[in-house]
Amino acid sequence: MKKYASLVLLAHSIFALPFAFIGFFLAINTTANDFNWLSLIFMVLCMVFARNSAMAFNRYLDRDYDAKNPRTQIRDIPSGRISAKEALAFTLINAALFILTTFFINTLCFYLSPIALAVVLGYSYTKRFTPLCHLILGLGLALAPIGAYLAVTGEFALTPIFFSLAVLCWVSGFDIIYALQDEAFDRQENLHSIPAWLGAKKALGVSAWLHVLSVVFITLPIFLTTLSWFYICGVLFFALLLIYQHSLVKPDDLSKVTRAFQTTNGYASIIFALFYFLDVYLRSPY
């Protein structure tokens, strides 16, 4: 279990999982659907299985590049801790469990499950032909809030879509920052990324604009549903942490990329989710 947790970087679940909980409880609090523990468990299992399959497949597909890149040679497959066959088997098992779990949620989630898998697994190919790969990664994580909402209601709505758009822009933006570390390697290996395409300075500009859009999308639910000042505080903290993230990374100084990528974004999602739940359960209309 420990080696597979390392393979899929289990700690990075903190990025999308809080938004999945937001989508789930948004459905409970804005529709006639009642809370159901089984639905919540199925939703969490879907998140785990989809993410496991996506991360394991990414490590499987990129194993040769990871072995060449000094930054990634310590990953599980290049270092020999897990074989390529084990990673692929883990991918297939989790993909099958994901589809099976959606069967027990509702018909719409079951029918959409192959499309969701196509997005989260297909991302791993995109760096081979388009610098927009960061947006595909963002789209994969953006399925969390709308998917959780669908797990409760079985139908689409505008508010969870705004949360998904916020996640798409947020994740795409910080993935561009993370990709700055591999700018030279990507060019050498003919891999595509925003930093390899535009250079570090312009890539950081694209990242900043994506994060501006993320804050815009995360603000829009205020106008669609009853929210209080707790939610507004959550938006402000989220925005401030994104600003802080960009203050840490400079085109000529990437020493704090890990801190900006993992720590800052982890806090951003958790703190925003906490303020959302404070709003839901301690609502004081403004």
> In this structure, are residues 10 and 2 in contact, taking their beta carbons and an 8 Å threshold?
no
pLDDT score of 1: 62
Average pLDDT, the chain: 91
pLDDT score of 284: 43
Tracing tokens 């969390």 back to the chain, one arrives at 144
Alpha helices in the chain (DSSP H): 2-7, 17-30, 37-61, 63-68, 76-79, 84-103, 107-126, 133-153, 158-179, 183-188, 194-198, 200-219, 229-248, 257-258, 265-281
pLDDT score of 269: 93
* Average pLDDT score over residue span 193-216: 97
pLDDT category of residue 286 using cuts at 50, 70 and 90: very low
Show the domains of the chain with their CATH numbers.
Answer: 2-281 (1.10.357.140)
pLDDT score of 285: 43
Residue 80 φ/ψ, nearest 5 degrees: 90, 5
Residues 6 or more apart whose CB falls under 8 angstroms from that of 150 comprise 106, 108, 109, 112, 156
Cβ count within 10 A of residue 225: 13
Tokens for 8? Answer: 């899929």
Identity of residue 73: Q
Looking at the predicted structure, is the pLDDT value of residue 230 above 70? yes
Residue 98 φ/ψ, nearest 5 degrees: -60, -50
pLDDT score of 266: 85
User: Between 16 and 118, whose confidence is greater?
Assistant: 118
pLDDT score of 13: 63
Looking at the predicted structure, is the pLDDT value of residue 76 above 90? no
CA 232 to chain centroid: 22
Looking at the predicted structure, is the pLDDT value of residue 10 above 80? no
Looking at the predicted structure, is the pLDDT value of residue 257 above 90? no
pLDDT category of residue 38 using cuts at 50, 70 and 90: very high
| Number of alpha carbons in the 13 Å side-chain half-sphere of residue 69 | 21
pLDDT score of 228: 86
The 3-state DSSP class for residue 250 equals strand
pLDDT category of residue 15 using cuts at 50, 70 and 90: confident
pLDDT score of 11: 55
The 3-state DSSP class for residue 35 equals coil
pLDDT score of 88: 94
* C-alpha torsion angle, residues 14, 152, 239, 229 (rounded to 10): -130
* Average pLDDT score over residue span 244-250: 92
Percent of the chain with pLDDT over 70: 94
